[in-house]
Every structure is written in structure tokens, then in C-alpha cells.
């Protein structure tokens, strides 16, 4: 299933709605810390990667997003390496929720976007 891009308003609302994930386990691996952040990010994979590099430098999501000039967004879930906190990994929120067996239906969350 291909995820559709979010508007900035939708991405911000989802980001707020899922802040409770911070501190929860990111994966079964002991190599990664619990979730360190849930942030608005670009939608396209290459721009997610660029965003992640900027985000890793300063851990400032708004600053890391400043390069992005498109209007398609997603929400990313970040974790840091246990051995080196500068190394980050991420997955998009919808994939993370699916991996956890948590249903996600953006249509049911539309109340958050108004």
C-alpha cells in the first residue's frame, strides 16, 4: 500500500497526536534507543534522508525542514544508536504503527485537522 502525502496541517496534527510514542521502544533490537522524537518531515524518500541528516546535526525539526520547498509531508519516528547518539534511524509513522499492529486510518483522524 502506497502512503499518500499529508498536508502540513495534517502532519502537524498527527505529530502532536503521537507525541506519546516518545520514550516507547523503537524496535526489538538493543542497538537502538527508545523513540527520541516524532516530527514533521518531507514526504519524498530522498528529502526524508536529507531532512534526517540536518536533523541529526542539531535535533531541530523546524530548522531541518527549512530546506524543503514542496507541500507534501509525512511524520517520522526517530531513534538513536545506543553506541553513538549521533547516529539516527527513522521510519514513517504509518509504517511504525503497522509494525506495532496499531491500525491507522487518516480518515478517522480528520477531526484533528480542523
Task: Spell out the per-residue pLDDT of the chain, length 114, in tens.
Answer: 468 999 999 999 999 999 999 999 999 889 999 999 999 999 999 999 999 999 999 999 999 999 999 999 999 999 999 999 889 999 999 999 999 898 877 666 654 554
- Full-model pTM: 0.90
Would residue 3 count as lying in a domain? no
Would residue 113 count as lying in a domain? no
Would residue 114 count as lying in a domain? no
Number of structural domains found in the chain: 1
Q: Which residues pair with 112 in a beta bridge?
A: none
Q: What is the pLDDT of residue 69?
A: 96
Q: What is the pLDDT of residue 1?
A: 46
Would residue 85 count as lying in a domain? yes
Would residue 1 count as lying in a domain? no
Task: Give the residue among 52, 100, 110, 109 at the shortest CA–CA distance from 76.
Answer: 52
Would residue 88 count as lying in a domain? yes
Q: What is the pLDDT of residue 104?
A: 79
Q: Which domain holds residue 61?
A: 8-108
In Å, what is the CA distance from 19 to each residue of 24, 66, 67, 72, 73?
10, 21, 24, 21, 17
Would residue 59 count as lying in a domain? yes
Would residue 27 count as lying in a domain? yes
Amino acid at each position: 500500500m502506497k502512503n499518500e502525502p499529508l498536508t502540513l496541517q495534517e502532519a502537524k496534527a498527527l505529530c502532536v497526536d503521537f507525541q506519546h510514542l516518545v520514550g516507547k521502544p523503537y524496535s526489538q533490537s538493543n542497538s537502538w534507543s527508545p523513540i527520541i522524537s516524532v516530527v514533521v518531515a518531507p514526504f519524498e524518500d530522498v528529502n526524508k534522508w536529507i531532512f534526517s541528516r540536518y536533523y541529526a546535526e542539531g535535533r531541530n525539526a523546524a530548522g531541518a525542514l527549512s530546506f524543503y520547498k514542496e507541500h507534501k509531508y509525512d511524520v517520522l519516528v526517530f531513534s538513536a544508536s545506543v553506541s553513538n547518539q549521533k547516529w539516527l534511524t527513522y521510519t514513517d509513522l504509518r509504517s511504525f504503527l503497522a509494525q506495532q499492529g496499531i491500525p491507522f486510518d487518516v480518515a478517522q483522524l480528520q477531526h484533528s485537522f480542523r
